[in-house]
Structure 1
Amino acid sequence: MPVSPAMAEDLAVAIARLYEDAELALLEKLRDALEQGIDSPLWAEIKLRSIGDLRQAVEEITDALQQDANGAVAEALATAYGRGRQAAVAEVGALDIGRELQARRVLPGAPAVDRLAASYAEDTRPLYVRITRAVIDAFRSVVTRSSASVLLGGLTRRQASQRALDQFAARGVTGFVDSAGRSWELASYAEMAVRSVTARAAIEGHIDALAEIQVGLVIVSDAPLECPLCAVWEGEVLTLGPQSGPHTIRMEHAVQPRGLRAAFRAPETVAVHVAGSLVEARAAGLFHPNCRHSLAAYLPGITTRPPHHPTPGTTYKDTQRQREIERNIRMWKRRQAAAMDDASRRRAGAYVRKWQAKAREHVAAHPDLRRKPQREQIGSAR
C-alpha cells in the first residue's frame, strides 16, 4: 500500500478546525470590543484605555489554542507514523521480509515522532505572538482611522469602523508572512503546517519500516494534475540512502528461485535506474502541502512503472483557481463574522453565496476536481 500526504489529511483537517474556531473567536472579540459604546462621544478615549482588557482576552484564546493544537498534533503524528508503517507491511506482506516486518511491534512513540512534534511547536511558536500583536494593532488602527473619518466628515463612526474592520477581516486575523514572503491566513497557515508535518510522519514511518528490512528503494506514483515541482519525479525510483543524482545500480531480484538447483546458482540481478535520493526529491518540492503523489516500496524485478493518469480538460492552473475561490469564500465569511450591523452582514452573506456558486460551477466544469467544503470554513458564522 503506497504512502502519501493524503494518508494523514484527515488528521490535519481536524487540527485546522481548532485554528478556524480560534480565528472566528478572535474576530468576534475584536468586533465586540469596537462596537461597545460606539455612540459615546468619548468612544476613542475609552477604547484606547481598554486595550489591556482586549489583550488579555486575546492571549487567553491563543494560549488555549497553542496548548490544544500542540497536544492534538503530537497525537496525530503518532497516528500518521503508525499508518506509514502499516502501509509498508501491506506492501511487502506477501514476501518473507514482509512477514518479518509484520511480526515486529514498534510503537510509534519513537524519536521521529518526538522530533517532528518539537519541530512543529518551534515553527508555530512565533505565530501565537503574531496573533496578539495583529489583533491589538488592528484595534488601534480602527479606533484611530474611525476617529479621523468622523472628524473629517462624510462617515459615521460605525461606518468608518466597519470599513476598517472589513479590510482587516479580508486579509485574515494575522496576515502571517512566511520565509518565502507569502502571506497566509491564520487557519490556512496552520493547516499547511499540520498537513506538512503529519505527511512527513506518515512517510517517515513508511521508510523507517522499509529500512528495517533493508528495502532501500522507493518509487513515486503518477498523480493527476501534478504541479511542476513534482512532475519531474513522477514514476521515478529514489534511494533512501545518501547518494543523490541519477545513477544505475544492479540489485538482486526481489524473488529468487528456490530449490536445490537454485542454491548453486548466482542470484538473479536486474539493472535499476535511480533518479536520485528521497531527501533530494523532497528538498526540490516533492510532497509539498496538497501534493497528490504517493510513495511505494520498489522491489527489483517486480515493481513496474506506474501508468500515466491523463486529465483531459483540467490543468494544474484549474486547481489553483479552485484554491482562489476557496480563499474568497473564507474572506467573505470573515467579513460576515465581523459585521457590526445587519446590512453589512447581509451583504457579506450575499458574497459568500456568490463565491460558493462559483465553486460549484468550477467543479462542475472540471470533473477531475472535487469540492472540499472544509477548505471553505472559518467556523460557524454568527
Structure 2
Amino acid sequence: MPVSPELAEGLAAAVADLYEAAEGVLIGKIRRALAEGIDSPVWVELKLAAVGNLQAAITEVIAALQADASGAIGQALAEAYGRGQQAAVAELGALGVGQAAAAAAVLPTAPVVDRLAQAVIADTGPVHLRMLRQSMDVYRDVVSRAAAAPVLGAQTRRQAAQSALDAFADRGVRGFVDRSGRSWELRSYVEMAMRSAVGRAAIEAHSDRLGAAGVDLVIVSQSPEECPKCRPWERKILARTGVPGAREVQVEHATEDGEMVTVEVAGSLPEARSAGLLHPNCRHSISAYLPGVSRVPEPQASRGTYEDTQRQRYYERQIRKWKRRDAAALDDAAGKAARARVRAYQARIRELTAETGLPRKRHREQLTTAR
C-alpha cells in the first residue's frame, strides 16, 4: 500500500495530546491558586507566600509529562517505522511481482528509530523548562496586575486577574521559534515535530523495504487541495535515491526479462522532500513504480482550495483558543462569553464545509483533557 505522513499521523497526535493535557492542568492549577481567597484584603500577601507551593506542584506535573513523553515518542516512532515496512510488503504482495519475499526480509530498525527518537527528544527538551518558567511568570504577573489595578482604579482585582489569565490561555506556553521566525504554541510545536518524525520514519521504512526488493522508482499520488510546495511533484515518478534533476532513464520492464522501458524521472525522492513534498501536514503518498506495469493516475478534482483548508485550520485554532479561555474563566460570565465564541467559530466551520465539501475534522476542535 502507498505510504504518506498521514499513515502515522495519529501517533503524532497521541504525543501532542500529552502536552496539551499538561498545559490544561497548568492553567487549572494557576486559576485555582489565584481564585482562592481573591476577595481577601491580604490576597496579594497570601499569593506571594504561596509561590513555592505552586512551583512545586507545576514541577511535579512537568516531571510526569517528561517521563510519559519520552516513552511515547519512542513507541510512536517504532510503530511508524513498522507501519512503513508493512505498507511496502503489502504493496508488493498485492502487485504480485515476486519481490514481496525480498521486501519481507528482516532489516535492522532499532538504529533508525533511536536516531529519530533522540532528535525529537532533543527538540522538545527545552519545552519543559519553558512550561515551568512561563507558568510562574504568568502567576506573578497576575498577582502584580491584580494588586495594582484597584489602586489605579482601572479594574477590579478579579477583572485584572481574569484579563491576565485570558492572555495566558490565548497564547499558551510559547517561545518556540522556528527558522522562519514563526512562534508556535505548545501543542502545535510538539505535534509538528512529531508529525515530521513519524512521517519520516514511515517513509524511510517504506523506501528501505522497496530497496531491499530491488525497486528503485516511486510515484507520487495526487492529493486534493494540495499546497504550492507539493503541486510540482504530483503524479511524478521519482528515484528513491540518487542525484537530483529530471531525466529520462532506460530501465528493465518489471515483469518481462530483457525488455527495456523509457521512464521520465522528475528527480529524486530526497530532492522532492527537500523542496517540501511530504511535509508534516502533507496528504500525498508515494508508492512503488514498476516500469511497464504501473500507470500514472488520472487527475482528480479538488473539493476546495488550499486557502480553504487554511481557513478551516484557522477556525479550529480559534475554537481551541476560546475553549482554553473557558477553562481559565474565574466566573460564570467569563465562561459564558467564551463558550459563545466557540459556538460562533463552530458555525463558521459548518458553513465552510457545506460550501466547499471539505470534511470536518472535529478532533482538531477539541482540547485534550488530563488523564
Aligned length: 368
Partner of 1:142: 142
Match in the other structure for 1:127: 127
Separation of aligned partners in 1, 2:280 and 2:36: 41
Secondary structure (helix, strand or coil) at the match of 2:264 reads: strand
Stretch moving more, 117-126 or 29-38: 29-38
> What amino acid does structure 1 have at the position aligned with 2:349?
A
Contact 1:147 1:157 in 2 (8 A): yes
**Residue of structure 1 equivalent to 2:7:** 7
Residue 221 of structure 1 contacts residue 293 of structure 1 at CA under 8 Å; is this kept in 2?
A: yes
Residue of structure 2 equivalent to 1:376: 365
Distance of 2:50 and 2:248 partners within structure 1: 69
**Which structure 1 residue ranges, 5 or more long, are not aligned?**
258-266
Distance 1:273 1:186 in 2: 43
Q: In the alignment, residue 322 of structure 1 is paired with which amino acid? A: Q
Aligned partners of 2:174 and 2:183 also within 8 Å: no
1:64 maps to 64
Q: C-alpha offsets along residues 254-298 of structure 1, whole Å, 9 cap, x if unaligned?
A: 1115xxxxxxxxx11112222222111111111112110001111
Equivalent residue number for residue 44 of structure 2: 44
Whole-angstrom CA distance in 1 between matches of 2:151 and 2:319: 34
Where do 1:1-382 residues align within 5 Å?
1-93=1-93, 94-102=96-104, 104-106=105-107, 109-257=109-257, 267-311=258-302, 314-367=304-357, 369-380=358-369
- Tell me which amino acid in the other structure corresponds to 1:213: A
Q: Which runs of 4+ in 1 moved over 4 A?
A: none
State the Cα deviation string for residues 325-351 of structure 1 (Å, max 9, x = none).
001000000000000111111111111
Contact 2:166–2:328 at 8 Å: present in 1 too?
A: yes
Write the distance in 2 (CA, Å) between the matches of 1:91 and 1:303.
Answer: 12
Cα deviation, residue 37, structure 1: 2.4
Q: Counterparts of 1:374 and 1:19 in 2: how far apart (Å)?
A: 16
CA contact (8 A) 1:187 1:378 kept: no
Q: What is the rounded CA distance, in whole Å, between the counterparts of 1:225 and 1:170 in structure 2?
A: 29
Q: State how far apart, in whole Å, the 1-side matches of 2:295 and 2:50 are.
A: 67
User: Is the contact made by 2:169 and 2:325 (CA closer than 8 Å) also made in structure 1?
Assistant: yes
How big is the alpha-carbon RMSD for the aligned residues of Structure 1 and Structure 2? 1.7
Offset of residue 48 of structure 1: 2.8
Partners of 1:20 and 1:377 within 8 A in 2 = no
Alpha-carbon distance in 2 for matches of 1:376, 1:118: 30
SS in 1 for 2:263: strand
Whole-Å Cα distance in 1 between the matches of residues 265 and 62 of structure 2?
A: 47
Q: Secondary structure at the match of 1:155?
A: coil
Contact 1:26 1:173 in 2 (8 A): no
Q: Partners of 1:99 and 1:249 in 2: how far apart?
A: 27
TM-superposed CA distance for 1:60, in Å, is: 1.4
TM-score using structure 1 length:
0.92
Aligned-pair CA distance for 1:53: 2.0
